[in-house]
Structure 1
Amino acid sequence: MIDSLISAAKVGDIDLLYKLIQMQPYVLEHTDFMPFVDTPLHVAAAAGHASFATEIMRLKPSSVWKLNQCGLSPMHLALQNKHYRMVCRFVNINKDLVRVKGREGLTPLHIATQTGRTDLVAKFLSACPGSIEDVTVRSETALHIAVKYDQFKALEVLVGWLQRNCQRLAEDREKRVLNWQDEAGNTALHLSVLKGFPQAVRLLIDRNIDKKVKNFEDSTALDIVEINQTQAHCALIRNELVRGGALRGFSLANVPLLEEELRAKITFNERIPIYVTRLRKRISNDTRNALLVIAILFVTSTYEEALSPPGGVYQGEAMVMKMQTFFWFWSFNAWSFYLSILMICLLMPRGRISLIVTFSLSIFFGCYVFSKMVISPSLKLNTATAVMPCIFIVFYSWGSSIYIRLAKKLKMYGYRQKDALKFSRGNRW
């Protein structure tokens, strides 16, 4: 019965398949108990019988994930035997098949990149965007594979897709993939230099890649060129790296390790961003939205009062509001406005879009200050009106810069990728 099923798969005979099912309804179940086996789907995929393979996938969906004794799935076999139409049909039926891992952790995207099938690379990325983050057992991404096998066109497709992708957190994904390190700590840029691949070096340094990152030999890309400067292509690669702003490595003695940073006594400059970050994380999205609405109401009402204070401003040469009364009005109104602006800045989500909002907010802030200076009858109050926003901006910029530096240095007290990889080098599975 099993031999007949395999024979049907080899010739793609769907009628014979159903005759066998009528004789033995559980004929497709025998492969479930075997971890590595050539299923009828494997045989059909290797032979290129797309209709038979599609029918098997419909009747036995789990078989598409099975690996045979060589560590290959049906998708891998179809690629290996150059049945590209069948591969596209597989992807149309189930997009997640792009991420099925075979021998040595190779996915269909890795294989398409390795063989230079740029049409399939583009289709796989469009169908399953997350596949670009899949790595092999050597911690190699598709970018590493493209450089390793001198597939420059495939590398262009991969990098171009990263730049054009507009999904949520696409910018983080681009930076993460471009700067991913393999088991030797080499990024795609390191590997391009080691391979003597000037085209790849030129392509990568013009993208969002960290040119100062070091591999586990503590070498940057420029260090590798300096070590191998006797080779003919090194002068060209060195010029490209220098043009792109690459730097030589520096001594690890000057770089504090993560454990040393954590053992050090916490400073005042660190306490502020830590407190703000913890406070932001304790606030739910609903609470944040409610507080933003309240802060905006405060800002708009205080701005309206600055434009039209109680009783008006001047009537001839006399003031409607007495000087002492105006001073208290000015104080409460200004502090209410400044604190509301500060609340909006702290509650806004982080990201580049917030910069646009902050810029607009700063213009609004300037309009308020100008309005205050126009209605103020006292030179001292005019001076205070001009000085207070400057102090506010200086302190806010100081706190923001500390927050950004701390977040970059320790990633808010999470392990950095380089530290984690160095640790795992001695504790690898």
Structure 2
Amino acid sequence: MDTRLLEASQTGNTMVLHQLLVEKPLILHTPALSSSENPLHVASMAGHTDFVKEILRLKPEFAKQVNEDGFSPIHMASANGYLEILRELLTVDRRLCRIEGRNKWTPLHFAASRGRSDIIKEILVACPESLEDVTVQKESALLLVIRYSQFEAIDIVLRWIREKKRDDILNMRDEFGNSALHLATWRKHRQAKSFSQVVEWLIGFGNTTTGGTLIVNAVNKSGLTALDLLLIFPSEAGDREIDVLLRNAGAKRANDIFASPSSTLDYDTYQQNAEDRCKSEPEDDLLEYFKFQKGRDYPSDARNALLVMAVLMATATFQVGINPPSGVWQDTNLTGNGTTTPKHLAGASVMGSFSPVSYLLFVVFNSLGLSVSLYMLTILTNNLPMQLEFRFCVVALYFTYYTGVTSMAPEDFTKTVIIVLSAVLPPTFHPFIKLIKLSIKKI
């Protein structure tokens, strides 16, 4: 993004924006070509309503762009509580309410987690179906307001659910099988009085024993009901009140549900969860959790992880290349005495003198690892500033490795090692290949 355009976006200076448009009529087209962040992202983050209006008039498609960190302008406005900016963005397209960012978070999720009551109301008016949206962790807006203890927002969301008769949202579960009642009961230890009121609100919608829709005996993936959580994690205040509320609503412990098959719905739910836990091995769940998931993980996070791995691999392969197994000879012996002490030069590889083939295999695979890691570094740092300087450093690093490995090679295998090192060069080292070919001709 142009530096002056960035400064204008940060300060909300519309006069500078118009001056730039006169000087460069296509200046608003360049951000789409050079980066994923546009002036509307910056202005929405800074809260400049007038600047946002002007950008939307000139380039409304900016409102739908998500930057590399997974945020669109409406995500930023919702998270920061900029109501006027949110309204301006919704005039472009009301469907922006459901645009997904990092971890599949929508603007309503950000507003819910931060307790932005005005934003929540505005989004629910514009797009009530956004209450159905869930994050990668399967958390709805209702679960988020409870998780983050946003009591005013909890009241707003529950009232909206009641008015629109969307009682099914009350029983939505997160990835651990916890419902809104699970979370409200478990988190009561922080603000007992407030959470007892939340439990009362939730139970007020009805439950399975009274013909309503709230399942008070829902069993999570740990095999626990809301009453189990209350009893397992006791606190000094609020327990008795919540216990009375739950038991009056027909709440039971999971063991009691299991022992009473007559309660078919709860029993089947418990059994299904138990079967699912048996089928899935903990090791498999752990592996899946740490795998990169598109939509959940930032591309920038994946890039940073790859950079770290590439640096570690380059460091390890370079180090072992210039310090080969068994070390190097400290003296020169041009006569040798058979297999006990073969002839050698000072600085040559001991392993290479005894087993040239083993040394050659070592050089092949170690050089391949170094080349691939350096190639990864050049790709991952592409388009960053000071590219020429960085490429020079990479070439100098490989040349140092190249010189060290060839000097340690057995005398009869020097040319073979040079050919190997030339063969495993990354594509980005093409200019360097000419230098290597000249060195081969001189041998």
Report the alpha carbon displacement of residue 418 of structure 1 after superposing the two structures with TM.
Answer: 10
Does 2:224 match 1:219? Answer: yes
| Distance in 1 separating the partners of 2:5 and 2:238 | 56
Distance in 2 (alpha carbons) for counterparts of 1:33 and 1:45: 20
Judge conservation of contact 1:225–1:234 (CA < 8 Å) in 2: yes
Identity %: 34
Matched residue count = 267
Query: 1:218: how far off?
Result: 0.8
Match of 2:52 in 1: 53
Compute the displacement of 1:129 (Å). 0.7
Say if 2:186 is the partner of 1:188.
Answer: no
Cα 1:13–1:225 change in 2 (3 A) is closer
Structure-2-length-normalised TM-score: 0.53
The 1:70–1:255 alpha-carbon spacing in structure 2 relative to 1, beyond 3 Å, is: farther
Q: Does 1:21 align with 2:24?
A: no
Q: Is the 8 A contact 2:221 2:273 kept in 1?
A: no
One-letter amino acid of the structure 2 residue matched with residue 243 of structure 1: N
Deviates more, 1:7-16 or 1:49-58: 7-16
Give 1:181's aligned amino acid. R
- Deviates most, 227-236 or 208-217: 227-236
Is the Cα–Cα contact under 8 Å of residues 176 and 220 in structure 2 kept in the other structure?
yes
* C-alpha displacement of 1:422: 9.4
Opposite residue 231 of structure 2, the aligned amino acid is E
| Contact 1:152/1:199 (8 A) holds in 2 | no
Residue 174 of structure 1 corresponds to 167
Which residue of structure 1 aligns with residue 4 of structure 2? Answer: 4
How many Å separate the matches in 2 of 1:94 and 1:8?
25
Q: Find the counterpart in structure 2 of residue 164 from structure 1.
A: 163
Distance 1:47 1:253, change over 3 A: closer
**2:215 matched residue in structure 1:** 210
Q: Conserved in 1, the CA contact under 8 Å of 2:81 and 2:111?
A: no
Give the Å deviation of 1:75.
Answer: 2.1
Code of the residue aligned with 2:239 in structure 1: it is C
Q: Distance in 1 between matches of 2:116 and 2:167?
A: 22
* Conservation of the 8 A alpha-carbon contact between 1:114 and 1:151: yes
**1:417, CA displacement in angstroms?**
10
**Match of residue 239 from structure 1:** 244
- Matches of 1:159 and 1:39, distance apart in 2: 36
Once the two structures are TM-superposed, the CA of residue 45 in structure 1 deviates from its matched residue by 1.6
**What SS is found at the alignment partner of 1:9?**
helix
Aligned runs of 1:55-204 on 2, under 5 Å? 55-165=54-164, 171=165, 173-175=166-168, 177-196=169-188, 197-204=195-202
Q: Residues 420 and 86 of structure 1: is their aligned pair in 2 closer, same or farther, counting only changes over 3 Å?
A: farther
Letter in 1 for 2:204: D
2-structure distance, mates of 1:106, 1:198: 28
Unaligned stretches of 5+ residues in structure 1: 166-170, 257-404, 411-415
> Structure 1, residues 215-256: CA drift from partner, whole Å, max 9, x if none?
001111112222234643222211110111222224897899
The residue type equivalent to 1:20 in the other structure is L
Residues 79 and 107 in structure 2, CA contact (< 8 A), matched pair in contact too? no
Say if 2:78 and 2:116, in contact at 8 Å, map to a contact too.
no
Q: 1:86 corresponds to which letter in structure 2?
A: I
- Aligned partners of 2:203 and 2:249 also within 8 Å: yes
Name the CA distance, whole Å, in 2 between partners of 1:105 and 1:39: 21
Q: Distance in 1 between matches of 2:73 and 2:173?
A: 30
Matched AA of 1:96: R
Indicate how the Cα distance of structure 1 residues 225 and 253 shifts in structure 2: closer, same or farther if over 3 A, else same: closer
Q: 1:117 to 1:418 in 2, by over 3 A?
A: farther
Judged with a 3 Å threshold, the aligned counterparts in structure 2 of structure 1 residues 160 and 422 are, in CA distance, closer, same or farther, namely farther
Q: Deviations over 1:240-299 (max 9, x none)?
A: 10111222224897899xxxxxxxxxxxxxxxxxxxxxxxxxxxxxxxxxxxxxxxxxxx
TM-score (norm. length: structure 1): 0.54
Q: Is the 8 A contact 2:74 2:107 kept in 1?
A: yes
In structure 2, do the counterparts of structure 1 residues 210 and 66 end up closer, same or farther at CA, with 3 Å as the change threshold? same
Kindly tell me: are residues 215 and 236 of structure 1, through their superposed partners in 2, closer, same or farther at Cα, counting changes over 3 Å? same
Task: Tell me: CA distance 1:7–1:159, structure 2 relative to 1, closer, same or farther (3 Å).
Answer: same
Secondary structure, aligned partner of 2:145: helix
Could you say if the C-alpha distance between residues 155 and 40 of structure 1 is closer, same or farther in structure 2, counting changes exceeding 3 Å? same
After superposition, residues 254-403 of structure 1 pair within 5 angstroms as none
Distance 1:44 1:229, change over 3 A: closer
Q: Cα gap change, 1:174/1:33 in structure 2, threshold over 3 Å: closer, same or farther?
A: farther
Q: Secondary structure at the match of 1:20?
A: helix
> Alpha carbons of 1:204 and 1:253: their partners in 2 closer, same or farther (altered >3 Å)?
closer
CA deviation after TM superposition for structure 1 residue 184, in Å: 1.2
* Contact 2:124–2:130, Cα closer than 8 Å, also in 1: yes
2:63 and 2:89 in contact (8 A); partners too: no
Deviation of 1:71 after TM superposition, in Å, equals 3.2
Q: CA distance change for structure 1 residues 55 and 230 in 2, over 3 Å: closer, same or farther?
A: closer
The whole-number CA distance in structure 2 between the counterparts of 1:38 and 1:212 is 47
Deviation at 1:77, TM superposition (A): 2.7
Q: Structure 1 residues 251 and 238 mapped into 2: Cα distance closer, same or farther (>3 Å)?
A: closer
- What is the CA–CA distance in structure 1 between the aligned matches of 2:199 and 2:56, rounded to whole Å? 42
Q: 1:134, CA displacement in angstroms?
A: 1.5
**Could you tell me how far apart the structure 2 residues matched to 1:33 and 1:223 are?**
55
Residues 44 and 76 of structure 2 are in contact (CA less than 8 Å); yes or no, is this contact kept in structure 1?
Answer: yes
